[in-house]
Amino acid sequence: MWAELALSFKQGNTYVLALFGIGFISAMIFFERFVMVQFVYNLNFDRFLLNIRRAIAAEDLDRAVSLCKNAGRTSLPLIALKALEAAESDPTTVRGAIEEETIHFLPRLEARLTLLPALATLAMMIGVLGTLEGIWSTFHSIDVLDSAKKQATIAKGLAGSLNPMAMGILISALTICAQQILRGYALRVIERVHLGVSVLNNLLVPSESTAFVPIAAAGMGGGMGGGTTGSMSGAGFGAGGANGGADSGKGAENASGATTNATPVVTASEDIKDEEEII
């Protein structure tokens, strides 16, 4: 197979040359992304965060800024530097500065990675198209040949026509593998960056202390207030009833006393009856 591919390349097969070009572009993207993700954006995150914690705990922001500048001008050191600058100027803007710089940085980790699957698919399609074109050329060329040469021509033409497909499958498989490797490295760096952002938020973002009354406590307070008010009202009504009863009792005693002490009234009919009895 390799000898056939080399022969097709020497003969200047258009499809094979196109596939070599796609393979070269894919290789350049892979090596560029590998260097950036593994050696530029990546660092010892645990050690960097430990040093930042110590500097901020000691309230030495100048040392923390120096650590960020020495660690690098991108990735988590750049995010930490922006957060420290915001903390020095206005602590209320720290969260916004961290989020803004994080959103600006994260897409760089996966830049151009989406091109690799597209190039893999394109290589496969070009290989299939080259194979079809080779088969058509082979069958068209045997029309003018003798019967003795047809068999050899068909065998040679079919073998040569499979070269673009083999080349396309090889480049497509390598490109997909490269894309998965780069994506794994990028995801690992993204996870470490998210961890660093959480640490920076905990260290630099001022805590929001807001006083509030829990709903359950508010309900209990309302219930206790209502119960107390009801008890007081009940007590008031009871006292009013007792006072009213006492006043009624006093009124009855006064009325009975007034009746007892009153002088009896003698009517005119009773006087006439007494006079008749005497007579």
Displacement of CA 256 from its chain's centroid (Å):
89
Q: Which among 177, 185, 203 is positioned nearest to 84, based on CA atoms? A: 203
> Average of pLDDT values for 77-90?
92
109 contacts 189 by C-beta, under 8 angstroms:
yes
State in Å, rounded, how far the first CA of the chain is from the last one: 172
Q: Is pLDDT of 104 > 80? A: yes
Task: Give the phi and the psi of residue 252 in degrees, each rounded to 5.
Answer: -65, -45
Q: Which among 102, 109, 54 is positioned nearest to 82, based on CA atoms? A: 102
Q: Is pLDDT of 23 > 90? A: yes
Among 150-159, 177-186, 209-218, which range has the highest average pLDDT? 177-186
Whole-number pLDDT of residue 137: 79
**What is the band of 189 on the pLDDT scale with cuts at 50, 70, 90?**
very high
Whole-number pLDDT of residue 267: 45
**What is the band of 1 on the pLDDT scale with cuts at 50, 70, 90?**
low
CA dihedral 130, 125, 27, 33 (to 10 degrees): 170
Which residue would you say has higher pLDDT here, 190 or 224? 190
Which residue would you say has higher pLDDT here, 224 or 74? 74
**What is the band of 157 on the pLDDT scale with cuts at 50, 70, 90?**
confident
DSSP character string of the chain: -HHHHHHHHHTT-HHHHHHHHHHHHHHHHHHHHHHIIIIIS---HHHHHHHHHHHHHTT-HHHHHHHHHHH-SSHHHHHHHHHHHHHHH-GGGHHHHHHHHHHHHHHHHTTTTTHHHHHHHHHHHHHHHHHHHHHHHHHHHGGGS-HHHHHHHHHHHHHHHHHHHHHHHHHHHHHHHHHHHHHHHHHHHHHHHHHHHHHHHHHHSPP-------HHHHHHHHHHHHHHHHHHHHHHHHHHHHHHHHHHHHHHHHHHHHHHHSPPPPPHHHHHHHHHHH-
Min mean pLDDT across 101-105, 137-141, 169-173, 256-260 is at: 256-260
> Average of pLDDT values for 177-196?
94
**What is the band of 74 on the pLDDT scale with cuts at 50, 70, 90?**
confident
Whole-number pLDDT of residue 18: 92
> Average of pLDDT values for 87-101?
91
Whole-number pLDDT of residue 239: 41
**What is the band of 258 on the pLDDT scale with cuts at 50, 70, 90?**
very low
Min mean pLDDT across 15-19, 165-169, 236-240 is at: 236-240
**What is the band of 140 on the pLDDT scale with cuts at 50, 70, 90?**
confident
User: pLDDT exceeding 90 applies to what percent of the chain?
Assistant: 46
Whole-number pLDDT of residue 144: 63
Whole-number pLDDT of residue 148: 66
pTM above 0.75, yes or no: no
Q: Is pLDDT of 21 > 60? A: yes
Whole-number pLDDT of residue 2: 63
Q: Is pLDDT of 278 > 80? A: no
